[in-house]
Amino acid sequence: MDMYLPVAGISINLFLVVTVGGLIGFLSGLVGVGGGFLLTPILMMIGVPPTIAAASGACALVGTSSSGTSVHFRLGNVDLRLGGILLLGGLAGAAIGVHVIKLLRALGSADFVITATYVVMLSSIGAFMFVESLQSLRRGMMASKTSSPIQQSALLKRLPFQMNFPRSNVRHSVFVPFALCALVGILAAIMGVGGGFIMVPMMVYLLRMPMHVAVGTDLFQILFTCAGVTLMQAATNQTVDVVLALLVAIGSTVGAQVGARMVRLLRGEQLRIVLASIVLATSIKMTLGLLIKPASLLASVGGN
Which residues make up the interface to another protein (CB under 8 A)? Answer: 28-29, 32-34, 36, 61, 64-65, 68, 71-72, 75, 77, 138-146, 193-197, 199-200, 210-213, 215-216, 218-219, 222, 226, 256, 260-261, 263-271
- Strand 10-13 with 162-165, pairing: unpaired
As a whole number of angstroms, the distance between CA 160 and CA 172 comes to 9
Residue number, 163 or 262, with CB nearest to another protein: 262
170: helix, strand or coil: strand
Q: Which residue lies nearer to another protein by CB, 5 or 182?
A: 182
- Of 29, 24, 27, 26, which Cα lies nearest the Cα of 53? 24
In the complex, what is the shortest distance from the CB of residue 283 to another protein, in angstroms, rounded to a whole number? 19
Nearer CB in complex with another protein: 33/240: 33
Number of C-beta neighbours around residue 201 at 10 A:
11
Helix (H, G, I), strand (E, B) or coil at 209: coil
Contact 192, 54 (CB under 8 A): yes
CB of 74 to another protein, least distance (A): 9
Of the candidates 20, 97, 43, 104, the one whose C-alpha atom is nearest the C-alpha of residue 286 is: 43
CA 121 vs CA 1, 165, 231: distances in Å = 33, 31, 25
| Cα(199)–Cα(179) distance, integer angstroms | 11
**Min CB(118)–another protein separation in Å:** 15
CA 86-94-288 angle, 5° bins = 120
Least Cβ distance, residue 95 to another protein (angstroms): 19
Rounded Cα distance, 241 and 209, in Å: 36
Nearest CB to another protein, comparing residues 178 and 220: 220
Q: Are 64 and 249 in contact (CB under 8 A)?
A: yes
Candidates 201, 282, 272; CA nearest to 29 is 272
Q: Which is nearer to another protein, 5 or 98 (CB)?
A: 98
**Minimum distance, C-beta of residue 139 to another protein, in the bound complex (Å):** 4
Closest CB 247 distance from another protein, rounded Å? 18
Pick between residue 22 and residue 216 the one whose CB is nearest to another protein. Answer: 216
Which residue lies nearer to another protein by CB, 77 or 230?
A: 77
In the complex, the smallest distance separating the C-beta of residue 215 from another protein, rounded to whole angstroms, is: 5
